[in-house]
Amino acid sequence: AQKITQTQPGMFVQEKEAVTLDCTYDTSDQSYGLFWYKQPSSGEMIFLIYQGSYDEQNATEGRYSLNFQKARKSANLVISASQLGDSAMYFCAMREANQAGTALIFGKGTTLSVSS
Amino acid sequence: DAGVIQSPRHEVTEMGQEVTLRCKPISGHDYLFWYRQTMMRGLELLIYFNNNVPIDDSGMPEDRFSAKMPNASFSTLKIQPSEPRDSAVYFCASSSADYGYTFGSGTRLTVV
């Protein structure tokens, strides 16, 4: 079974609009970490935001916020005020046991296209 | 900090040839991960190291793949012999005691 599910292969949004990228996860661990990465067409993996399973507040980093709903096992990424430069592939990832030495498990990704 | 450095950025090789991908992690990071990215399978973990010791190599597809980390500042991923289905982008990432993982720019491998 997939540990990380991203059900939206592609999303389209206009500049300045907000967009939500969905991510659900499956784990039996109580302690885990959730990550979002951006991969532009140039190919590098850029870290965006992190949420620990015990964090009470939703994580925010500038225009990025993570809508963490623990009971639903969802960790959606919200991008406010989209910009053309946000066009990229976005990956949700999880680290079980939430320790530095645990590998990230990635979802299949969502391609975001921002138009003017 | 120069980040995680991978070389080469692009590699084109003929089927049957040996391919060696290289990675220099961030100084002080004691975990190193190798991932492979393809359209069909997404990002897959191949192997990871802690303090230069392989911890989990269950993602290595077959015996043609091998990885080493002879010291804290260098790791290699070798494919011998290479096959067209090995064509992918290979990423190296390193991390430390905080939560962050830093990825290299990747090596795009094409086997013809």
Residue B31 contacts A where some CB pair is shorter than 8 Å: yes
Per-residue model confidence (pLDDT) at position B17: 97
- Using CB atoms, which residue from A95, A98, A109 is nearest to B42? A109
Q: Is the peptide bond before B54 cis (omega within 30 degrees of 0)?
A: no
A63: region left, alpha or beta (phi > 0 left; psi from -120 to 50 alpha): alpha
A31-40, A62-71, A93-102, B12-21: least confident range: A93-102
CA B6 to CA A111: how far, in whole Å?
25
pLDDT at A2 over 70: no
CA distance B47 to chain A (A): 9
pLDDT at A33 over 70: yes
Residue B33 contacts A where some CB pair is shorter than 8 Å: yes
Residues from chain A that touch B105, judged by Cβ atoms under 8 A, are 43-44
Residue B3 contacts A where some CB pair is shorter than 8 Å: no
Per-residue model confidence (pLDDT) at position B99: 59
Per-residue model confidence (pLDDT) at position A1: 58
Instruction: Give the CA angle between residues A84, A35, A17 to the nearest 5°.
Output: 30
Q: How confident is the model at residue A96 (pLDDT cuts 50, 70, 90)?
A: confident
CB-based contact A44 B55, cutoff 8 Å: no
Mean pLDDT for each consecutive 10-residue tract of chain B (112 residues)?
Answer: 91 97 94 95 94 93 94 96 97 84 96 98
Q: Identify the CA nearest to A31 among candidates B73, B99, B76.
A: B99
Residue B98 contacts A where some CB pair is shorter than 8 Å: yes
Per-residue model confidence (pLDDT) at position B102: 93
Per-residue model confidence (pLDDT) at position A101: 76
pLDDT averaged over chain A?
94
CB-based contact B96 A100, cutoff 8 Å: yes
CB-based contact A33 B99, cutoff 8 Å: yes
Residue B43 contacts A where some CB pair is shorter than 8 Å: yes
Phi, psi of B11 (to 5 degrees): -140, 125
Residues from chain B that touch A108, judged by Cβ atoms under 8 A, are 42
pLDDT at A79 over 70: yes
Place of tokens 């979002």: A36
Q: What is the DSSP string of B44-84?
A: EEEEEEETTEEEE-TT--STTEEEEEEETTEEEEEESS--G
**Most A CBs within 10 Å: which of B4, B50, B103, as the mutation test of the A interface?**
B103
